[in-house]
Amino acid sequence: MESGTGKTRVAIELVNQAKPDSVLWVGPYRTIKPDNGLPSIISEIEKWGGFECEDVVYVGIESIQLSDRVYLDIRKFCKDCDNLFLIVDESLKIKNAEAKRTKRLFELGEFAKYKLILNGTPISKNLLDLWAQMEFLSPKILNMSFAEFKDNFCDCRKVTKRLAHGRKYTKEFIVGYENIDHLYSLMQNYIYECDLSLQIKQLYKTLHYKLCENTKKEYYRLKTEYLDNDKLQWKNNNIFLELTQKMQHSYCCTENKFEIVEDLFTKITPEETIIYTKYIKSRNACKARFPKATVLTYQKEALGLNLQYLHNTIYFDKNWDYALRIQSGKRTFRTGQIHDCHYWDLTGDVGLEQMIDENIAKKINMAEYFKEKTKEQLREEL
């Protein structure tokens, strides 16, 4: 179900209709115990009347993965239940079939009479993730092993590379998919899809800021240092993430950004506004300068939270990840929102800012974006 369509409410109704004696809710820890006093998934469930059963346990998927003690306690809880309903919030938490997290969810699922996976983000681009998700729900859905699934639906190629001293290694790549119609026919009765349609608008504006002299000087120093031919060769050209992180960090708190937000807050209400930041430095600075606004970070708080009581969003720092950018906007634009949702994107007067915008417009990841660029193009555009 697309973000904002009310998948939590649907889960509550399904559980209460099934009448289990116990519910185990496994989800991202940030949604169960969020920072900044933000509403949790527990408060969201209670808002709709809660689960009508004796025992309800909430646990972070990260805890199941990282803590043997937590996992064993949860396993004992599941084993002792006679009629358990197991819910996994965020399907992307069940993907790599060989991951400890996935294997542990498989084991917990063996004790459950009912199983439900919730997902508000676009389905995984890796078709192999679907095997793990269907296997968790029931091995009878696909009725095939992981190897059989891969052989039936993935077109794979093996590439062998020769290393020094006569060594070599072989790696397998998925170059395409096949028999997709057949795969869809196997899964279609077990997946419910819902799109979002609201009678309000999403309005976007760009606010331009200028780097101060010191930050711009540091920006160009980093550009010269990292795009040096010797350094590119030494780093095997795999330096673009490091380069862009350092360059963007160098100007994330340039003064004109704060001045523009202060001016914007003479026209909109800070208490109704989210400010998204990328770095600890900019997050702390925004919290200090704009204490009445809700200051969040992309990685921790762009997914899973219901913030429909806010309707303004400021992107103080840009982010390369298209999915995170889209999901961050869904925190306010969702069922129950009664205001038009406004979004302001702060854009600096350096080439990196335009690069990020171009990447987002193409809806590709950063690695793919940089593969399209030559060193000469990067020097010119940055």
Task: Collapse the DSSP code of 245 into the 3-class scheme (helix H, G, I; strand E, B; otherwise coil) and give the result.
Answer: helix
Same domain, 346 and 318: yes
The answer to whether residue 98 is domain-embedded is: yes
Same domain, 268 and 233: yes
Same domain, 243 and 347: yes
What is the tens place of the pLDDT at every residue in 4-39? 888 999 999 999 999 999 999 999 888 898 877 788
Between CA 108 and CA 91 the distance in angstroms is 16
Same domain, 184 and 246: no
The answer to whether residue 175 is domain-embedded is: no
Of residues 168 and 7, more confidence is placed in 7
- pLDDT band at residue 2 using 50, 70 and 90 as cut-offs: confident
CATH number of the domain bearing residue 117: 3.40.50.10810
What is the tens place of the pLDDT at every residue in 290-317? 999 999 998 888 777 888 899 999 999 9
Please count the CA atoms within 13 angstroms of the CA of 112 that sit on its side-chain side.
25
Between CA 15 and CA 11 the distance in angstroms is 6
Q: What is the pLDDT of residue 363?
A: 77
Cβ–Cβ < 8 Å for 303, 121: yes
Same domain, 125 and 227: no
Same domain, 338 and 359: yes
Same domain, 229 and 93: no
Task: Collapse the DSSP code of 302 into the 3-class scheme (helix H, G, I; strand E, B; otherwise coil) and give the result.
Answer: coil
Same domain, 246 and 370: yes
Q: Which helix (H) or strand (E) holds 80?
A: helix 68-80
What is the tens place of the pLDDT at every residue in 52-82? 998 999 999 999 999 999 999 999 999 999 9
Q: Calculate the alpha carbon distances from 294 to 3, 109, 112, 212, 226 in Å.
A: 20, 37, 39, 26, 35
Range of the domain at 37: 7-140+180-190
Residue 318 pLDDT exceeds 60: yes
The answer to whether residue 158 is domain-embedded is: no
Same domain, 253 and 295: yes
- pLDDT band at residue 157 using 50, 70 and 90 as cut-offs: confident
Cβ–Cβ < 8 Å for 33, 305: no
Of residues 119 and 208, more confidence is placed in 208
CATH number of the domain bearing residue 333: 3.40.50.300
**CB under 8 Å to 217, separation ≥6 — which residues?**
none
Domain count of the fold of the chain: 2
Cβ–Cβ < 8 Å for 314, 275: yes
The answer to whether residue 163 is domain-embedded is: no
Residue 237 pLDDT exceeds 60: no
Positive or negative, the Cα torsion across 146, 147, 153, 159? positive
Same domain, 363 and 235: yes
Same domain, 134 and 212: no
Same domain, 38 and 185: yes
